[in-house]
Amino acid sequence: MKRLSVILLFISTHLFPVSAQQGTGELSVLLDTVTVKAAAESNTVKTSSDGSVNMNLKIMEMLPKMMGNADPITYSKLLPGVQSTGEYSGSLHINGSENSHNMISVLDVPLYNVNHLFGFFSAFIPTHYSSMSLQRTPQMAGSPNRLGGELKFRPYTEREGDRASGDITVGLLSSQGTVKVPMGKKSLLTASLRSAYINLLYSKWMELENSTLHYSFFDSNLTWTCNLNDYNVIMADAYWGRDNSAFFENSFITDAKSSWGNDAESVHWIHAGKKGLNVKQTLYRSNSFAHLHMIHDGGNLKAPSSITDLGYKGSLEWKGLTLGAESMYHDFVLQSPVIDDSYIVTATETPRSNAWEHSVYSDYSFFLLDHLNVRLGLRGDMFVCQGKRYTSADPSFLATYYSRDNDWSLSLSLSQRHQFLFQTGITGLGLPSEFWMPAHGDFKPQYMRGVTMSGMVEIGNGLTLNSSVYYKKLYNQIEYYGSIIDFITTDYNIEDHLIKGDGFNYGFDVMLSKSSGRLTGWLGYSFGRALRSFDREDMTGYYHASHERIHELDMVAVYKTGKRWEPSLVFVAASGTPFTAPEYFYMIDRKILVRYGDFNAQRTRPYIRLDLSFNYDLKLRNDRFIKSHGLNLSIYNVLFRDNDLGYRLKVYEDSFYYHNIMFLGFALPSVSYYCKF
CATH number at residue 88: 2.40.170.20
Average pLDDT, the chain: 81
CA–CA separation, 129 and 449 (whole Å): 33
- If one compares 485 and 217, the residue with the highest pLDDT of the two is 217
- Inter-residue contact 422 to 394 (CB < 8 Å): no
Strands (E), 386-497: 388-402, 408-419, 421-424, 435-438, 446-460, 463-480
CA–CA separation, 602 and 598 (whole Å): 8
CA–CA separation, 506 and 428 (whole Å): 20
Whether 604 is in a domain gets the answer no
Whether pLDDT at 224 is above 90 = yes
Total domains, the chain: 1
Whether 618 is in a domain gets the answer no
DSSP 618: -
- Inter-residue contact 74 to 60 (CB < 8 Å): no
3-state secondary structure of 599: coil
DSSP 42: S
- If one compares 361 and 201, the residue with the highest pLDDT of the two is 361
3-state secondary structure of 127: helix
Closest to 509 (Cα-Cα) out of 543, 469, 482: 469
List the single range of 86-95, 156-165, 654-663 with lowest mean pLDDT: 654-663
CA–CA separation, 87 and 666 (whole Å): 14
Whether pLDDT at 17 is above 70 = no
CA distances from residue 296 to 5, 342, 503 in whole angstroms, order as listed: 8, 11, 41
CA–CA separation, 389 and 383 (whole Å): 6
CA–CA separation, 144 and 151 (whole Å): 11
Cα of 582 vs its chain's centroid, Å: 30
3-state secondary structure of 445: coil
- If one compares 631 and 33, the residue with the highest pLDDT of the two is 631
Radius of gyration of the chain from Cα atoms? 25
Cα of 457 vs its chain's centroid, Å: 29
Q: Which of 52-61, 75-84, 314-323: highest mean pLDDT?
A: 314-323
Counting residues of the chain whose pLDDT is more than 70, the rounded percentage is 77
- Tell me, what's the pLDDT at 158? 83
- Tell me, what's the pLDDT at 448? 96
Closest to 549 (Cα-Cα) out of 577, 524, 520, 569: 577
Q: What is the DSSP string of 469-536?
A: EEEEEEEEEEEE-S-GGGGSSTT--GGGGEEEEEEEEEEEEEEEEE-SSSEEEEEEEEEEEEEEEESB
The burial class, CB within 10 Å (0-12 / 13-18 / 19+), for 637 is buried
- Tell me, what's the pLDDT at 6? 37
Show Cβ contacts of residue 123 under 8 Å, excluding neighbours closer than 6 positions. Answer: 111, 114, 115, 116, 219, 239, 241, 262
> Residue 102: what are its φ and ψ, rounded to 5°?
-110, 145
Whether 592 is in a domain gets the answer no
- Tell me, what's the pLDDT at 144? 93
List the single range of 134-143, 193-202, 398-407, 543-552 with lowest mean pLDDT: 193-202
pLDDT digits 0-9 by tens, 287-312: 999 887 776 555 677 778 899 999 99
- Tell me, what's the pLDDT at 643? 80
Closest to 245 (Cα-Cα) out of 227, 260, 258: 258
- Tell me, what's the pLDDT at 293? 73
Closest to 175 (Cα-Cα) out of 151, 195, 201, 200: 195
Show Cβ contacts of residue 648 under 8 Å, excluding neighbours closer than 6 positions. Answer: 11, 16, 17, 18, 19, 20, 658, 659, 661
CA–CA separation, 307 and 677 (whole Å): 39
List the single range of 69-73, 161-165, 498-502, 619-623 with lowest mean pLDDT: 619-623
DSSP 76: H
Whether pLDDT at 202 is above 80 = no
CA–CA separation, 268 and 457 (whole Å): 36
pLDDT digits 0-9 by tens, 384-434: 998 899 999 999 999 999 998 888 999 999 999 999 999 887 655 445 677
pLDDT digits 0-9 by tens, 516-572: 888 889 999 999 999 999 888 778 888 888 889 999 999 999 998 888 888 999 999
- Tell me, what's the pLDDT at 39? 38
Count of helix runs (H) and strand runs (E) in the chain: 3, 43
What integer is the mean pLDDT of 192-203? 77
Whether pLDDT at 126 is above 70 = yes
- Per-residue pLDDT band for 211 (boundaries 50, 70, 90) equals low
Instruction: Supply the range of the domain harboring residue 386.
Output: 2-585
pLDDT digits 0-9 by tens, 475-516: 999 887 765 555 555 556 667 778 889 999 999 999 999 888
pLDDT digits 0-9 by tens, 248-257: 665 555 567 7
- Tell me, what's the pLDDT at 405? 87
pLDDT digits 0-9 by tens, 267-278: 999 999 877 899
Strands (E), 136-204: 150-155, 165-171, 174-183, 187-196
- Inter-residue contact 549 to 594 (CB < 8 Å): no
Whether 267 is in a domain gets the answer yes
Strands (E), 273-351: 278-296, 299-302, 305-318, 321-333, 338-340
CA–CA separation, 7 and 262 (whole Å): 27
Whether 667 is in a domain gets the answer no
Closest to 104 (Cα-Cα) out of 132, 66, 130: 132
- Inter-residue contact 9 to 256 (CB < 8 Å): yes
Whether 610 is in a domain gets the answer no
CA–CA separation, 94 and 101 (whole Å): 9
Whether 526 is in a domain gets the answer yes
CA–CA separation, 654 and 402 (whole Å): 68
Whether 670 is in a domain gets the answer no
